[in-house]
Amino acid sequence: MSSSLGKRFVVTTFGESHGRTVGAVVDGCPPGIPVTEAIVQRQLDRRRPGQSRLTSPRREADRVSLLSGVEKGLTLGSPIALMVENTNLRPADYEALSAIPRPSHADFTTRMKYGLAASSGGGRASARETVGRVAAGAIAEQMLSVLHGVDIVAWVSAIGPIEAHTPDVTALQRRQVDAVPVRCPDRSAAGDMTALIEKMKAEGDSIGGVITCVCRHLPCGWGEPVFDKLSALLAHAMLSIPAAKGFEIGSGFAGARMRGSLHNDLFVRKGKRLGTVTNHSGGIQGGISNGEPVVFRVAFKPAASISQAQATADYQGRPAILRLKGRHDPCVLPRAVPVVEAMAALVLADAALRHFPPRKTTPL
């Protein structure tokens, strides 16, 4: 099923949304990195349902247990297994799904691929699988922070048609993002976003949006020049998040409309390093980090699970009306912010361990 990501910093997630546990194993984390359950819990709490009225009313404590790989608060260099128990199982909600596949969900394709399915329909396709990602990402962040001084901040930059102003990506902090439940640091846009999400909730509908993420203080040299460009690895990781539909690095699709003479990032001395005047490249040139902030955006579709009745078909192709009960988020974006950060951290931790600094480089 390929539940692993990474070549040197390898995460493997496990668990069905309605089974006993969800969790992950992180293999490849260097020894001596400070990791505790509290550190991991902090990011899980940001992903947890029931944080605000904007999110699903499912209330799961999502307490993480570290099973191995850590002793006296430090990593040992051995695999770090961690798990979260599923405490809030309500399989009855999912009974109707045995006859009618949810539109734009993984029910149908999962059943076609595996011939059977977990009770919850899409099984591993559930957003609950991202618990393991966020926990593993918290470990990756520790490594990146301690060994390299890298930090990562993501935020909601659009909900439906509402687009936020771009903040100063060199200064934005997570506490600014978390200051409002919708996780958009532009207070004005955040208000409109909140209203829109509440409207969707009231109408039994859902809405998509965009998350932007910045990764700062990467050294020059991360990423591989051909197939494993840092941008390609980020695209891979982001499109693996449930509901993700698009990815762009730096100027992205807007850059496709530009001329080279305006798009090129001219070089300029920045203290002891060679920097660029603009950052249309999004911190990556030729697939390799260039020392500028890595900035990318991820598009999320509106959640497929809505409570409005849907005129669809059953597995036999007969017309059928689907009325979902369950407990669904009208908008996944606020809770997806720590997931995007986690996936970025996993990619960067792997890239860091794959890079060998050369014995000598051109000094400035």
Residues 157-186 that bind a copy of itself (CB under 8 A): 158, 160-161
Residues 46-85 that bind a copy of itself (CB under 8 A): 66-69, 71, 74, 76-81, 83
Site for a copy of itself in 125-164 (CB under 8 A): 125, 129, 158, 160-161
Spell out the residues 6+ positions from residue 94 whose beta carbon is closer than 8 angstroms to its own.
18, 119, 120, 121, 326
Q: How far is the CB of 84 from a copy of itself (least distance, A)?
A: 11
Query: Judged by CB under 8 A, which of 44, 249, 294, 344 binds a copy of itself?
Result: 249
User: Contact, 31 vs 42, CB < 8 A?
Assistant: no
Does 45 interact with a copy of itself (rule: CB under 8 A)? no
The yes or no reply on residue 334 touching a copy of itself (CB under 8 A) is no
How far is Cα 23 from Cα 338, in angstroms, rounded to an integer?
16
Residues with Cβ within 8 Å of residue 214, at least 6 apart in sequence: 152, 153, 154, 169, 172, 293, 294, 295
Least distance to a copy of itself, CB of residue 332, Å: 10
CB of 175 to a copy of itself, least distance (A): 26
For a copy of itself, what does the binding mask look like between residues 284 and 313, x meaning CB under 8 A? Answer: -xxxxxx--------xxxxxxxx-x-xxxx
Selected from 58, 148, 217, 263, the binder of a copy of itself by CB under 8 A is 263
In whole angstroms, what is the distance from residue 342 CA to residue 359 CA?
31
The CB-of-249 to a copy of itself minimum distance in angstroms stands at: 6
Q: Per CB under 8 A, does 210 bind a copy of itself?
A: yes
Residue of 64, 108, 153, 177 that binds a copy of itself (CB under 8 A) = 108
Spatial separation of the C-alpha atoms in residues 131 and 87, rounded to whole Å: 14
- Residues for the chain: how many in total? 364
Helix axes 333-354, 37-47, angle to 10 degrees: 140
Contacts with a copy of itself by CB under 8 A: the residue count is 150
Distance CA 135, CA 46 (A): 11
